[in-house]
Amino acid sequence: MSSSLPKIMGTVALVGAGPGDPGLLTLRGKAMLEAADVVVYDYLANPLLLDFVRASAERIYVGKKGGALNSEHQEKINQVLIASAKAGKRVVRLKGGDPFIFGRGGEEIEALSAESIPFEVVPGVSSAIAVPTYAGIPLTHRKMASSVTIITGHEDPDKKQGPFDWEKLTTGTDTLVFLMAMGNLKAITEKLQLQGKASDTPTALIQWGTYPHQKTVTGTLLSIVDLAKKMGIKPPVVMVVGEVVSLRTQLNWFETRPLFGKRILVTRAKAQAGEFAAQLSNFGAETLVFPTLKIVPPPDLSPLDAAIAGIESYDVLIFTSVNGVSYFRQRLRALKKDLRLLKGLFICAIGPRTAEAIEDWDLRVDAIPTEFKAEGLLALLTARGVAGKRFLIPRALEAREILPESLRDLGGLVDVVPAYQALRPVYKDAELERFFGSGKIDLLTFASASTLRHFVEIVGQERFKRQFKESQLACIGPVTAAAATALGLKVAVVPKDYTFPALTAAIVDYYQNLA
């Protein structure tokens, strides 16, 4: 007699993606994305949120530009959610803003409920609230506005109760917020004025609100249509009508950041790019992460293993990068060794971030040079004496030879062992077009000569000359800058200290001096 297990039903979570800034995603929304098997996402959901999704998860794009989705398209989305859930998948429906604020989330839940599919709704920060805030417009104010109304600029023509009451809108509330209003902007302004709203009522249009390329235009009900045409304002747009718009001149905080409107490329390895990109974003930049290094173990681990086995024979252990610390530590763990093995070694780090990585391991760093490069460390070690001492340098498979060669010239016994290697990632033409086909990049940043070299190799000489002829370069130190100069490139920014906080500060100073 045969038997079969009951089929397990999947679940669907409608998750509000917020208005655009990835930092406005809720913690619950992030957890849902991390656990998802399938993510069905909209045009207005920031693609950066997909970084929270597992590589093995399926991503399904169902967005549509320029207006509300029609019923046929919406039905297809409903069927995708239903079919994925019935296949036992954990599904996230990622929707711009909040799922229940003009997002057709209610219709999708009705479809799931009709099929008895378990669901959850994760609220999101609505663009109706967040976007005006990022434009420096408070929707309420003790002396100006005690009420707010949120209105759709695209009503369903089949709605039974008909269009909303324009007369009550003009007299019954202080601040009006219209979503999806651009298609009907002229009609909206005319109807409001026809029903008694003063023509000089302050009015704002905020395009791509909360994104680094946010654009805000302010005027009056009478002038805003012509201003929108003049400034090239296009969807997605949030429209605000009311006296509170006049407060923008005092409260505009987002668009006044020193790097606002600048598109900056970060070429570090993906696992290491986040902190630097975040530093730039905090100053208002739009950061594009395009890794030109892929950090992996070396092809042969036996030299590193042999060095670890004979670690007691060394006098000095030198780490030249965070990656060197990380992969050396991983190898110790794989060989079932611990910190006791390093007892008595004089431990050096070339820079403060490398030192932090060592100290996170509960090891004390004995020496950090004041100049964060090989030459600085060499001077420090020379002062202590080099001749006759044994040095171990676990580092990248390919790196500058100046430190080990100079130590040998001074009589040191040096073993350089590869702890990791930095490979050049492979990108398809479509990926390159996605990264670089959407507008000018103001600044290219490079943290090493290899990131620079790989970048030029990946994009190709012709594309590099054509696409980046107006882009500026920022290099973390003189070695990287020299590599750029050797390629015939002009470097605009090099910090005095060779750290990422210093590079960020130097970039900010550069643009502030240009202003």
- 32 among known catalytic residues: no
Phi, psi of 224 (to 5 degrees): -65, -35
Q: Which helix (H) or strand (E) holds 488?
A: none
Q: Taking the domain 11-125, which CATH number applies?
A: 3.40.1010.10
Four-residue CA torsion sign, 191, 195, 199, 204: negative
Asked whether the domain spanning 297-423 has the same topology as the one spanning 263-293+425-514, the reply is yes
- 158 among known catalytic residues: no
pLDDT of residue 7 exceeding 80: no
Q: Residue type for 499, please?
A: T
pLDDT score, position 399: 79
Which of 21, 32, 37, 42 is flagged as catalytic? 42
Does the domain at 297-423 match CATH 3.40.50.10090? Answer given as yes
Alpha helices (runs of H) in 105-184, residue ranges in sequence order: 105-114, 127-134, 166-172
pLDDT score, position 32: 97
At 238, list the tokens.
Answer: 């949030």
At 382, list the tokens.
Answer: 């020379």
pLDDT of residue 90 exceeding 60: yes
CA-CA distances (angstroms) from residue 264 to 44, 100, 208, 430, 440? 22, 34, 18, 20, 10
Query: For a pLDDT cut of 70, what percent of the chain falls above it?
Result: 95
CA-CA distances (angstroms) from residue 157 to 104, 167, 336, 506? 15, 20, 69, 54
pLDDT score, position 296: 92
pLDDT score, position 161: 54
Which stretch of 64-68, 99-103, 409-413, 509-513 has the lowest confidence by average pLDDT? 64-68
Alpha helices (runs of H) in 8-101, residue ranges in sequence order: 27-35, 71-86
Per DSSP, the three-state class of 100 is coil
Per DSSP, the three-state class of 117 is coil
Which stretch of 223-232, 427-436, 486-495 has the lowest confidence by average pLDDT? 427-436
Q: Report, as an integer, the average pLDDT of 406-422.
A: 93
pLDDT of residue 6 exceeding 80: no
Q: Report, as an integer, the average pLDDT of 329-348.
A: 91
Residue 35 to residue 12: CA distance in whole angstroms:
12
Q: Give Cα 243 to chain centroid, integer Å.
A: 35
| DSSP structural state of residue 68 | P
At 319, list the tokens.
Answer: 């780490």
Q: Which of 306, 264, 304 is nearest to 281 (CA)?
A: 264
pLDDT score, position 98: 96
Go through 20-53 and write b for each residue having 16 or more CB atoms within 10 A of its CB, e for each that does not. Answer: bbbebbbeebeebbeebbbbbbbebbbeebeebb
Q: Which of 356, 402, 373, 350 is nearest to 495 (CA)?
A: 373
At 502, list the tokens.
Answer: 């210093």
Residue 350 to residue 181: CA distance in whole angstroms:
56
pLDDT of 102-120, one tens digit each? 888 999 999 999 999 999 9
Q: Report, as an integer, the average pLDDT of 95-101.
A: 94
Query: Taking a C-beta distance cutoff of 8 angstroms, is the pair 244, 465 a contact?
Result: no
CA-CA distances (angstroms) from residue 493 to 62, 78, 81, 274? 41, 51, 49, 20
* Residue tagged 């006759």 (tokens): 388
From the number of C-beta atoms within 10 Å of its C-beta (0-12, 13-18, 19+), residue 196 rates as exposed
Residue 59 to residue 73: CA distance in whole angstroms:
18
pLDDT of 162-209, one tens digit each? 567 888 888 889 999 999 989 999 999 999 999 999 999 999 999 999
For 137, how many CA atoms within 13 A lie in the half-sphere containing its CB?
A: 31
129-251: CATH topology is 3.30.950
Average pLDDT, the chain: 90
Q: Residue type for 2, please?
A: S
Residue 495 to residue 498: CA distance in whole angstroms:
6
- For every residue of 335-370, DSSP letters joined together read TT--GGGGTT-EEEESSHHHHHHHHTTT----B--S
pLDDT of 240-263, one tens digit each? 999 999 999 999 999 999 999 999
Go through 270-294 and write b for each residue having 16 or more CB atoms within 10 A of its CB, e for each that does not. Answer: eebbeebbebbbebbbbbbbbbbbe
pLDDT score, position 2: 45
pLDDT of 349-405, one tens digit each? 988 889 999 999 888 999 888 776 777 888 888 888 899 999 999 998 987 788 899
Which of 64, 191, 270, 337 is flagged as catalytic? 64
Q: Residue type for 48, please?
A: L
Residue 374 to residue 377: CA distance in whole angstroms:
5
**Which are the contacts of 232, defined by CB distance < 8 A and separation ≥ 6?**
none
pLDDT score, position 47: 87
Strands 58-61 and 38-41 turn out to be parallel
pLDDT of 33-72, one tens digit each? 999 999 999 888 998 899 899 999 999 999 765 544 556 6
- 180 among known catalytic residues: yes
For the chain, give every domain's residue range: 11-125, 129-251, 263-293+425-514, 297-423
CATH architecture of the domain 263-293+425-514 equals 3-Layer(aba) Sandwich (3.40)
Residue 96 to residue 133: CA distance in whole angstroms:
17
Which of 32, 37, 180, 373 is flagged as catalytic? 180
At 232, list the tokens.
Answer: 């090239």
Residue 510 to residue 492: CA distance in whole angstroms:
8
